[in-house]
Amino acid sequence: MSLPQRKIIHVDMDAFYASVEQMDFPELKGKPLAVGGSNTRGVVSAASYEARKFGVRSAMSGIQAKKNCPELIFVSPRFDRYKEISKKIRRIFFDYTDLVEPLSLDEAYLDVTVNKKNNPSASMLAQEIRQRIFDEVGLTASAGISINKFVAKIASDFNKPNGQKTVTPEEVEPFLDLLDIKKFYGIGKVTTKKFYQLGIFTGFDLKQKSLEYLEKHFKNSAQYYFNISRGIHNSSVKTNKVVKSFGAEHTFNENLSSEIYMEERLLQIAIELEKRMQKSKVSGKTITLKIKYSDFSIQTRSKTLHYYISDKHLLFDVAKELLYQERLKNSVRLLGISVNNLNNEKPKTKEIPKSVSVQLQFNFKE
């Protein structure tokens, strides 16, 4: 007996952070708004649709955003408020299914193949969920509906804001055939450029390539690309998603050029990272130092230990060793520390006692 065709909804809030600010402060409605910093080191976290018309986007520097839109209004993020609203939205999701996989505060996958409303129409359920979010929370959401998470995610972008798109089983391949490869979820700018150089511009172009051809050019990712061009994506909606990494980073008010001046910042980052990890009761083996230079290029340096750590002093010791592993290429605008290879994924190993002084030696290879 074959399993029923899955019915997956991807719900994505419209300009979530900016929309919350416009809801809470009506004087901001209809105006170009950016959540983030406008100073020389500021970065846009989110932009309202009024601001997006001027080319303002998330991750853009505040200075550039202001150049694009001189009338742009900046507000500081209020993450506690965004989390509060997100919890209300998720409670609505759970009225329809227990199979909910949050991706972030503002989006989630819902498996409604079997649902609490006994409604066979995923499209009607998506419409009802979006209406309830608007009525009960005051914000608009968009949705994509299809047979798997990959297609549903892409579809949710098609009729934004405040819209939805359903891609039925028989429409999946024709839908993907016409799609520009850069719109495939999970394919970034670098990979898109490589596809273009190979003459692969659409889903149809990708589907014409054999698995052997893709293995030659994309190695371990070949099977994934081969499958998604045919609408094959079997990943289930994960209700208890395991966190695979923790991190913290800081952008400096002024670029730093000496490692000595960076040590104090690294310790502050390690203290913040320890708080986050201990709150979740996890430790990790692989520590990565992220360095963003003044020219915005990024370098990472990593080391995997034989034991799990989460203590701020040990995190700092590892990060400091990595910092001095080789000369810096330029002045530095950002430092970050992240930890993965966590003990929530593997059998726990005894953690190094905090009172023990550990000397760590590294042979770093980029």
21 is catalytic: no
Tell me if the bond preceding 161 is cis, omega within 30° of 0. yes
The whole-angstrom separation of Cα 49 and Cα 28 is 12
Amino acid identity, residue 117?
Answer: K
Strand blocks (E) in 228-283: 245-256
* Residue (of 316, 310, 304, 315) closest to 341 by Cα position: 304
Whether the CB-CB separation of 151 and 233 falls below 8 Å is answered with yes
- Selecting among 21, 50, 101, 107, the annotated active-site residue is 107
The whole-angstrom separation of Cα 11 and Cα 128 is 12
Q: What is the DSSP string of 147-192?
A: SSHHHHHHHTTTT-SS-EEE--GGGHHHHHHTSBGGGSTT--HHHH
State which H helix or E strand residue 131 sits in. Answer: helix 122-136
Compute the half-sphere exposure of residue 96: CA atoms within 13 Å on the CB side of its CA: 28
The whole-angstrom separation of Cα 222 and Cα 217 is 8
State which H helix or E strand residue 338 sits in. Answer: strand 332-342
Whether the CB-CB separation of 49 and 29 falls below 8 Å is answered with no
Backbone angles phi, psi at 161, to 5 degrees: -85, 165
Largest CA distance in the chain: 66
Strand 73-75 to strand 44-47: parallel, antiparallel, or no bridges (unpaired)?
A: unpaired
* Residue (of 164, 81, 148) closest to 111 by Cα position: 148
* Residue numbers annotated as active site: 107
